[in-house]
Amino acid sequence: MATQTKAYCFRMEPTAAQEAALKRMAGARRWVWNWALARKREYHQATGKTLTWVALSRELTVLKSQPETAWLKEANAQALQQTLRDLEQAFAHFFARRAGLPLFKSRKRDPLRFRIPQRVKVKCSQVYLPKVGWIRIRQSQPVTETVKSATFRRRADGHWYVALTVEFETSDAALPPPDPASVVGVVLGRQDFLVTSDGERVPVPKFY
């Protein structure tokens, strides 16, 4: 068995309250990205070392308990942790020279979006988002596979969309057995260049 992935994308139809919650989550993602990027730069300048996403996650937990940043608790915790992982991956790509240096995200230029790695479900033309609930979607095809992650994004047309990444198992394709009638044996010799099992002889080529 082999594990494969594919993606579905559906337009969402959130209520006004649900859209407000989506915007808050996207804003929390952008805030956490910028905060974590600033912390990584400060830590590197002070120590010459790298601040990992695990250490940042612990600091983020402390921030949620402080009055001025307690609003972060309204966002999905998995989405905020995924933001820290995405930032660490962005730095990995930078050091591998596959991308530029991660930059701060502007409210004007950065689209409203966030990603959740788990606990997203699809049922009856609805998608379940933790801390928001069931949101209607224009489901054009069934989703029978296990949802591994979901990206929520508002596009330039003003509508929200959800992209679902799913995993499914496929059996390894077995090669068909060879047809004996189509198999030809070959014998190499001195007098003949080759002799096939069906009696055909190919003479040795002469280069003069």
- What's the whole-model pTM score? 0.78
pLDDT in tens, 84-122: 999 999 999 999 999 999 999 999 899 999 999 988 999
Three-state SS sequence of the chain: CEEEEEEEEEEEECCHHHHHHHHHHHHHHHHHHHHHHHHHHHHHHHHCCCCCHHHHHHHHHHHHCCHHHHHHHHCCHHHHHHHHHHHHHHHHHHHCCCCCCCCCCCCCCCCCEEEECCCCEECCCEEEECCCEEEEECCCCCCCCEEEEEEEEECCCCCEEEEEEEEEEECCCCCCCCCHHHCCCEEECCCEEEEECCCCEEECCCCC
Low-confidence ranges of the chain (pLDDT < 50): 207-208
Q: What per-residue confidence (pLDDT) applies to 146?
A: 87
46 close to 93: Cβ distance less than 8 angstroms: no
Count, residues in the chain: 208
pLDDT in tens, 189-205: 666 555 555 666 656 55
CA distance 83 to 63: 15
Q: What percentage of the chain exceeds 70 in pLDDT?
A: 82
Q: What per-residue confidence (pLDDT) applies to 195?
A: 56
Q: What per-residue confidence (pLDDT) applies to 204?
A: 58
Q: What per-residue confidence (pLDDT) applies to 158?
A: 96
Q: Exposed (0-12), middle (13-18) or buried (19+): which is 86, by Cβ within 10 Å?
A: middle
Domain ranges of the chain: 2-170
Instruction: Name the DSSP letter for residue 107.
Output: T
Q: What per-residue confidence (pLDDT) applies to 182?
A: 61
